[in-house]
């Protein structure tokens, strides 16, 4: 087996991975493994923008309050404080590096999104914020001779010895060989897992690989039951569930039912700008009430030129499906969008395993709580990616072992037929959407777990086939979500159980933590300082 050696291994090239790599490149050699092209990630598809309290009418304290309120009692206040305070510094840095956020004259242009009390969301090229940020970060990282990108490398598992992580095994899809990278520090910034659901805004590569690898290695994961469903994804037969950014409603877009009546005021006083979990459940209720499969997102009352300039990607995409959003209402339906939970970390990205770090959507810092505030995800990746880089540099003091004893280095060449893998994947995605989706109950969760375990029993072990490994990872993530959702017998944020519709502050105003045994514990929402002290590796 080919063995590569580096100081720092970064898995994933979204906003968190690139920002971490830029920091790490100042201290040693960095290898960045990317599943696809370096610029292909969830970040690339982020439309709405990045939230930061930089406008004259805004304050950091208001951003803090809005984030805590959206998190429904489960945000870590210290983590949020770091996010909103340090976010200003790192956004200013992005601007210095050449990020072209939209402006009105010489002033930055801000928009408002759901559950924000102020207009604080920066955007670029109307609705292409993520791709603009990735452009700048890639340019910055590529200019550093210490940073090496290896595209089309699918990570299989972490290299583990005596409870410490020393790199990863990966399939080099260019020569179809399994290889190993040994590193002082391994950084997981592999993004989300939206593909676990049949209805999702996430790209095909979002199969929860980092979550599953960390779980198999023995790392603790937290708040896996909290999956956010975006209220407005394009709902057309034969079309992908293209995200229709929340900024559309922030700029005055309406939601209408099949009878063309606005309905959100019946469910929440903020109407279309209510928190995402409430909007999604309201749409589901309206679909049931009107016996329909979709509602409409209506922009036709807004100025046509404004719409085209403000949302050029949305306009062009919908036009491909014969919908002119300046004159036609858009059929929409909720879709799985973002996992608030993930690999449990402290405030510096340290996990429960030595030498393993995580940031971005794959991590759970406590910033988002039970329900992410719109446009905080890019900010979290930026801030905590940088903080992780600084921590990994400070911690990198042990030499990498020459050899590791682990069974993960033995791979079978046998794989299942591709059509069977695809069939099983579709079955898993449908199961998760129908039984573990926007509305849940104990009976459905138990049935989903039983069915999922049955499906997973037919998978091959240690096969270096990307399709089958992705399926295995999706099943692992699905199981973690189900078990965590079964344990939380209440409704909070994005987790809504019809058999437990109320919150239980005394018992469940806590974070769930799940380990390799799949046993769920609940721990208090404590200050991140004490969390960092208990999780810090030495």
Find out whether 326 and 253 touch, Cβ atoms under 8 Å: no
CA distances from 370 to 82, 224, 232, 450, 531 (A): 18, 10, 19, 26, 18
Q: Which residues contact 461 (CB under 8 A, 6 or more apart)?
A: 412
Find out whether 136 and 97 touch, Cβ atoms under 8 Å: yes
What dihedral do alpha carbons 536, 213, 37, 89 form, nearest 10°?
Answer: -20
Burial of residue 85 (CB within 10 Å: 0-12, 13-18, 19+) is middle
**Cα 372 from Cα 277, distance rounded (Å):** 9
262 annotated active-site: no
Find out whether 532 and 350 touch, Cβ atoms under 8 Å: yes
Backbone φ and ψ for 278, nearest 5 degrees, come out as -70, -40
**How many Å is the Cα radius of gyration of the chain?**
22
**For the chain, how many helices (H) and strands (E)?**
15, 21
Q: Residue 30: enclosing H or E segment and its boundaries?
A: strand 30-33
**Cα 380 from Cα 487, distance rounded (Å):** 27
Sign of CA dihedral 441, 443, 444, 449: positive
Q: Extract the tokens encoding 262.
A: 């606005």
Which one from 276, 440, 466, 497 is the annotated catalytic residue? 276
Find out whether 351 and 91 touch, Cβ atoms under 8 Å: no
Find out whether 48 and 123 touch, Cβ atoms under 8 Å: yes
**Cα 198 from Cα 396, distance rounded (Å):** 41
Closest by CA to 338, choosing from 306, 360, 366, is 360
Q: Residue 298: enclosing H or E segment and its boundaries?
A: strand 295-298
Residues identified as active-site: 276
């Amino acid at each position: 087996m080919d063995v590569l050696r580096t100081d720092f291994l970064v898995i994933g090239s979204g906003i968190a991975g690139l920002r971490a790599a830029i920091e790490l490149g100042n201290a040693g050699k960095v290898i960045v493994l990317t599943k696809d092209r370096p610029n292909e990630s969830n970040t690339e598809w982020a439309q709405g923008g990045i939230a930061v309290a930089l406008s004259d009418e805004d304050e950091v304290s208001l951003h803090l309050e809005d984030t805590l309120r959206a998190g429904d009692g489960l945000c870590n206040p210290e983590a949020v404080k770091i996010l909103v305070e340090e976010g200003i510094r790192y956004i200013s840095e992005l601007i210095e590096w050449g990020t072209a956020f939209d402006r009105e004259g010489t002033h930055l242009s801000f928009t408002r999104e759901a559950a924000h009390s102020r207009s604080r969301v920066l955007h670029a090229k109307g609705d292409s914020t993520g791709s603009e940020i990735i452009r700048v970060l890639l340019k910055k990282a590529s200019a550093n001779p210490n940073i090496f990108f290896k595209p089309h490398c699918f990570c299989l598992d972490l290299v583990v010895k005596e409870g410490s992580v020393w790199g990863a095994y990966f399939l080099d899809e260019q020569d179809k060989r399994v290889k190993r990278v040994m590193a002082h520090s391994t950084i997981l910034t592999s993004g989300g897992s939206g593909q676990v659901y049949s209805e999702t805004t996430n790209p095909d590569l979002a199969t929860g690989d980092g979550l599953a690898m960390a779980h198999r290695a023995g790392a603790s994961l937290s708040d896996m039951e909290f999956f956010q469903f975006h209220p407005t994804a394009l709902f057309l037969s034969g079309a992908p569930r293209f995200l229709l950014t929340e900024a559309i409603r922030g700029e005055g877009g309406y939601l209408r039912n099949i009878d063309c009546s606005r309905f959100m005021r019946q469910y929440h006083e903020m109407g279309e700008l209510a928190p995402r979990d409430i909007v999604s459940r309201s749409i589901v209720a309206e679909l049931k009430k009107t016996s329909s499969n979709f509602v409409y997102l209506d922009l036709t009352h807004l100025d046509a030129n404004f719409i085209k300039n403000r949302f050029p990607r949305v306009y062009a995409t919908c036009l491909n499906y014969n919908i002119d959003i300046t004159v036609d209402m858009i059929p929409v339906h909720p879709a799985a969008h973002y996992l608030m939970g993930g690999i449990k970390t402290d405030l510096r990205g340290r996990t429960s395993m030595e030498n393993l770090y995580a940031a971005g959507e794959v991590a759970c810092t406590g910033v988002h709580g039970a329900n992410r505030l719109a446009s905080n995800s890019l900010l979290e990746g930026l801030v905590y990616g940088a903080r992780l880089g600084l921590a990994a540099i400070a911690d990198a003091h042990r030499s990498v072992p020459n050899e590791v004893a682990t069974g993960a280095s033995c791979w079978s060449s046998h794989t299942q037929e591709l059509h069977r893998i695809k069939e099983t994947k579709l079955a898993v995605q449908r199961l998760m959407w129908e039984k573990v989706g926007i509305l849940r109950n104990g009976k459905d969760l138990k049935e989903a777990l039983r069915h999922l375990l049955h499906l997973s029993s037919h998978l091959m072990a240690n096969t270096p086939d990307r399709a089958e490994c992705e399926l295995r990872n999706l099943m692992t993530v699905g199981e973690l979500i189900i078990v965590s959702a079964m344990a939380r017998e209440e409704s909070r944020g994005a987790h809504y159980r019809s058999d437990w519709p109320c919150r239980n502050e005394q018992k469940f105003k806590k974070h769930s933590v799940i380990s390799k045994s799949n046993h769920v514990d609940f721990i208090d929402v404590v200050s991140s300082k004490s969390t960092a002290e208990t999780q810090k590796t030495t």
